[in-house]
Each structure stands twice: as C-alpha cells, then as structure tokens.
Amino acid sequence: MGHRRGELTAVSLFTLVSMLGLVACGSDDDSSGGGAAQTTAATAAPATAAPPTTGQQPAEAAQLADGRHPVIVKQVEVGGRTVTFDLIQWFEGDAAAKAAAEDGQESPPPNDYYIRNVNPRLRTLPVASGARITLTRQTVGQGGGNAAGPVPADLAAVAASGIGHLFWATVRGGQIQALEEQYLP
C-alpha cells in the first residue's frame, strides 16, 4: 500500500504542475493587435524554447490566425525554412494619430503611420516552400524607380538584408505563405 501511495502522490504532483503550466500559458496577454484596417491575433502554442535573443524573450513555436500580420523579422533559418519574428501593431491615418497620442508620442506621427510593440515575445513559424518573398528596392540597393517597389527574394536574402525590418507575413494553416517587406520612409 505504501508503494501505491507514493505513485499516487507523484501522479498528483505531476498533474498539479501540468495544470499550473497550462494556466500560466493560457493567461498570456498578447496585446499585439493591429491597426484600424489590420487586426492580428496570436494564440500561443505549447512553448518550445529557442536560444534567447538579446533583449528579447526566447522564441517559441507559434500559431497565428490565418491572415496578414505585421512583424519585425529577428532571425531566419534558411535551411530549416523558419522565420523568428516579433509580432507588432501597425496603424495608419487617423488610427495612427490616435494610437500615438495614447502612447504619449508625436501625433499625428511622421509619415502617417505608427508602430506599437508592447509584447517582446518572439515567435517562430515555418515558411511554405512556394512562399512569395519580397524585399523593397531600397533594401536590395536598387537605384532609380520606386524605393518601395517589391523585389522578389528568397530566405537567404531576407537573412542577409532583412533582419530587423518590418514585413507583412501572410499566414495560412500555420505556415508563412508570403513575407513582404514594408517600405518605411
């Protein structure tokens, strides 16, 4: 009977610890919504920690709702076809002025856009093999024409020139289907 009681205590302790972990994950406040015309939503998947990035929380496997999300690219694993990013909020026009004022920043903001980043959590998603990937002409150093113009690229080009840049990640079925750099004047 003593041996059985020890097993029950171990199982009970494991169950309690597991439940506490689920409660902690479920209460994560992800305030990384979008702006007036763009809404993003993130749902945390079970965390799989990656090495910490300086000044950031460790990256975790993530699931995002299908849609288009504003992100800052932090790391690209070309061979593994994954992108680690910081999900942000993007505001334009009147919504940008309102959000900037709420945050005590210059309002209306310069260039009619405002970026809010209140959650340092990093997320990692796989990139679909046929994903549309673009960088701006400005990033790839192409002179002439529209600096914002999209230039087809691959993950290696994003790894070389796009770290720290703002992109729009189109997610479907838990994979990035498009990764398009946003021009910032």
In this structure, the answer to whether residues 18 and 73 fall within a common structural domain is no
The secondary structure of residue 155, as a DSSP letter, is: H
For 43-98, write each residue's pLDDT tens digit: 233 222 333 344 555 555 567 899 999 999 999 999 999 999 999 999 999 999 99
For 14-38, write each residue's pLDDT tens digit: 333 333 333 333 333 343 444 433 4
- Domain residue limits at 76: 31-181
Rounded Cα distance between 71 and 84, Å, is 9
In this structure, the answer to whether residues 109 and 20 fall within a common structural domain is no
In this structure, the answer to whether residues 13 and 75 fall within a common structural domain is no
In this structure, the answer to whether residues 23 and 100 fall within a common structural domain is no
**How many domains is the chain built from?**
2
In this structure, the answer to whether residues 126 and 160 fall within a common structural domain is yes
Residues with Cβ < 8 Å from 185, sequence gap 6 or more?
Answer: 111
In this structure, the answer to whether residues 46 and 74 fall within a common structural domain is yes
Rounded Cα distance between 86 and 93, Å, is 23
For 52-61, write each residue's pLDDT tens digit: 344 555 555 5
List residues bridging with 77 in a β-sheet. 82
Rounded Cα distance between 162 and 76, Å, is 9
Q: Tell me the pTM.
A: 0.69
In this structure, the answer to whether residues 39 and 14 fall within a common structural domain is no
In this structure, the answer to whether residues 96 and 108 fall within a common structural domain is yes
R_g over Cα of the chain: 20
Rounded Cα distance between 158 and 89, Å, is 21
Q: Give the DSSP letter string of 55-123.
A: TSPPEEEEEE-SEEEEEEEEEEETTTTEEEEEE-EEEEHHHHHHHHHHTTS-SSPGGGEEEE-----EE
